Amino acid sequence: MRQQHLDRLTSIDASFLHQEGRSSHMHIGGVLVFDGPAPSFDRFADHVRSRLHLVPRYRQKLAVPPLQAGRPLWIDDPDFNLDYHLRHTALPSPGGEEQLLTLAARIASQQLDRSKPLWEMWLVEGLDDGRFTLISKTHHSLVDGISGVDLASVLFDLTPEPAPGQEDLEPWHPHPEPSPAELVLAGAVGAVEATAGLAARAVAAAARPGASAGLLRDALEGLGELVWAGLNPAPETPLNVPIGPHRRYAVVRQQLADYKLVKDALGGTVNDVVLTVVSGALAAWLRSRGVRIEGLEMRALVPVSVRTRDQRGALGNRLTVMRGPLPVYIEDPVSRLRFVRAAMDGLKESKQAIGAATLAAVNNLAPPTILAQASRLNFSTRLFNLIVTNIPGPQMPLYMGGRRLRDLFPVAFLPERHALAVAIMSYDGNLDYGLLGDYDAMPDMDVIASGIEESLTALLAAARGRGGRRPRGSAERPARERRRAPSRPEDERRQPASRPQEERRQPASRPEEEERRQAPARPADTPLLPTARGRAKRGPAVEMRARAARPPRPAPDPPSEPGPPPDRRRADRARRTVDSQEAQDGR
């Protein structure tokens, strides 16, 4: 789909504009860490300029018809200035990732200027170990997660050698800015086209009454399930409080192979494992705040892409949403994964996604005022507690100017009264978490970051040991357990390899250990296991057991001089007699 002048925003794209406020910014982005020194800013700007023609929407801005007569449109920006959208800065000393994440949070705290194309990109120098960073910020009305990944393929190369740029590019000539009458006319044309599209589908449905009846039934069932979900609101939690404009940002590095190991051993999908890990982290965070979690099941808004193959590379949003479960009350990680898997399977078999798609199609005909109200319902705290989005990225290394991209941390957005958003992106074997939180409501967001690591560690132990018992001699877990959040001190990351072995020798739980300590001692003649036949009532073995069961006699005073040595041959004969008798008894 071409990105043309006077394109009308879809209802989903426009909903992100309606939901934006002073405290709820509707832009998304990423923090991209590269190996090697940063290129010069002029060279970086030339690189972006040479590929900007592949994404014309990045040189377009919003235009609203007068009196809000229709949805906004994309128009060419005649005053487009690339230097405004590309920013250049450096980290303060010592240039660690803590300073980088602070900068990323401050950039995410600032709204984009709607009078210009809705994106920014920051070139950040001064990161330790000779690295540099790109921080991107793009309004959600412009891209969704999937198309954002496609844009990365425009800016990046698949090999260290940059692809040769096109030298015969024609200068860009923007269309003249339309008049108010032209904006109204373009909006009316877009509405007519949308109505004609629905009419064409209605005619096609009438030609196939059997199949159309099934589709209509599915749509009605989907709408009914959405209404039922709205009548069963998400629980109230400390996450659903008024938020401000300022943000905190934290990241967690993990490996995609670990999630595949868990899902292969315990069942489910990678997304099921992600929701299970997030549930465990939220449970630890709620307990740290003194919140009771018995019977508490939080709800996550999980975006699902409905982008088809022929729509890849096209901008705009092709999304629907599902409301996934976060059973924070389930302590056992395997049981928690089993619950999430069953619930997500049920949602996939339900008609919620069809109902959401039906609403989106109907909203394409709605006027802006009705669309604004519908978008508020979609982001209501009655429906979900937080956003959890898992974005599949390229599973091969990417390069920019010969520098390899090492980490790709996503940045989500916070709707009103939602103090936390969790975004996950897989890239080149990594699975990186980006946690965006409200600055005032989430001062302890590092507890959630630590909880993500601990929750995955528990699932890995269960996956490797088939129910929590790890096989002997495994040497993989210590190395993986040392993988920490990048904002933690280096000395916390370097843990001795013997510690996991010591932990495995400890009891599974302290309450069980206390019960065993307080339990009465087992009599000496009580069998550990039931035997197939009864013990003999006579014989040397019975006499030996009877003597062992008697209370010990007080020891006599030691003689002043040592007595004669014991008869070892008599003791050996007695021991052989007992062994022979026990063998006959079937022991």
Question: Annotated catalytic sites, by residue?
Answer: 140
- Would you say how long the chain is, in residues? 587
Cα(416)–Cα(381) distance, integer angstroms = 8
H or E element at residue 559: none
204 sits in which H/E element: helix 180-207
- Phi, psi of 288, rounded to the nearest 5 degrees: -65, -25
Q: What is the largest CA-CA distance in the chain?
A: 122
Alpha-carbon distance of 281 to 287, in angstroms, equals 10
User: Tokens for 278?
Assistant: 């997030």
**Residue 540: CB atoms within 10 Å:** 14
With beta carbons less than 8 A apart as the criterion, state whether 293 and 495 touch: no
65 by Cβ neighbours in 10 Å (0-12 / 13-18 / 19+) ranks as: buried
b (16+ CB within 10 A) / e for 99-135: bbbebbbebbbebbeeebbbbbbbbbbbbeeebbbbb
Which amino acid would we find at residue 106? R
551 burial level (CB within 10 Å; 0-12, 13-18, 19+): exposed
Question: Which two tokens mark 224?
Answer: 């009914």
Structure token pair of residue 232: 């069963």
User: Which helix or strand (DSSP H or E) is residue 99 part of?
Assistant: helix 97-108
Residue type at 508 in one-letter notation? A
Distance CA 69, CA 43 (A): 44
Structural element, H or E, at residue 479: helix 476-481
